[in-house]
Amino acid sequence: MMSRSEIIKVLPAYIQAFAIIAGGVWAYWKFIHQRQKDPATDIDIDVRFVGVQDHKWIIEVTSTLENKSLVQHRYEDFQLSIRYFLQEDAIEDGDKKILYQLKCLRSINDRINGEKRSFGNVDYLNPRQVFKHRYITFVPAEASLVWVQCRFFFRIRTRKQKINSQRIFRVPLPEQGNPDLPKVDNTGNKYPSSTF
C-alpha cells in the first residue's frame, strides 16, 4: 500500500497523463470525427440592380463566404459566371453535362471572348469569418432573368476541392419615365417605345 506522501508524488504524473489523453480524444473528435479541419464554407449570392444607363442594367453581385470551421482556409481562383435570358428565349432543359439544369446560352463573358471573370482579393478565410466579395458589371436592359454561379477552390493537402453555388434572379420591371428602359406591359410583352 502506498503512503500518502508517495501518492502525492505520483499524482501530478497521473493528472498530466489524463490531460494528455483527454486532449487527444478532444482533438480526434474535433478534427477527425467532426472534420473541423476540412472546409465548411457557406456561399450566399445576391444581385442588386443598381440602375439603367445606356440601355444596360448595372448590377452589383455580392458573394458572401462564411468559414464555419475552426481553422483558417486558403482559397483560390474565385470565378463568377453571369448568364441571362431575354423575354423571347425558349426555356429548355440542358444536357447531361450540366445535369439537365436550365439551358441558358447567353453569357456576359461573350463580351470578353469567353475569358473568365474573377473576384479580386482572394486569399484566405479565418475561422468563423464572414467575408463579402463584390463584382460590378452589366446585363442588357431587356434581360428578364439573371443567373449567377460562383465557384472557387480550396487547397487541401495535395488536392483541390471545388466549392460552388448558384442562384437565379428576376430582373426588375422597368421604371416609368426612364427612356433607357424597354417598355413592358404587365404580362412581360414589350411595347414599341412610341406607345408610351
Binned at pLDDT 50, 70 and 90, residue 29 comes out as low
Q: Which residue's C-alpha cell is 473576384? A: 119
169, 146 Cβ separation under 8 angstroms? yes
**pLDDT tens digits for range 89-108:** 999 999 999 899 999 999 99
Instruction: Give the domain ranges of the chain.
Output: 1-34, 41-174
Q: Does domain 41-174 bear CATH number 3.10.450.750?
A: no
Phi, then psi, of 21 in degrees rounded to 5: -65, -45
**pLDDT tens digits for range 151-185:** 888 776 677 778 889 999 999 986 644 555 555 55
**pLDDT tens digits for range 39-57:** 567 789 999 999 999 999 9
**What pLDDT does 6 receive?**
75
**What pLDDT does 183 receive?**
56
| Percent of the chain whose predicted confidence (pLDDT) is above 90 | 42
Cα 28 to chain center, whole Å?
Answer: 30
This prediction's pTM: 0.70
Q: What is the largest CA-CA distance in the chain?
A: 106
Least confident of 19-33, 52-66, 105-119: 19-33
Cα separations (Å) of 115 from 62, 82, 109, 111, 167? 20, 12, 6, 9, 21
Q: For residue 167, what is the enclosing H or E element?
A: strand 159-170
Contacts of 68 (CB under 8 A, 6+ apart): 40, 41, 42, 128
Binned at pLDDT 50, 70 and 90, residue 16 comes out as confident
Least confident of 122-126, 142-146, 169-173: 122-126
CA distance 44 to 65: 7
Q: Which residue's C-alpha cell is 416609368? A: 176
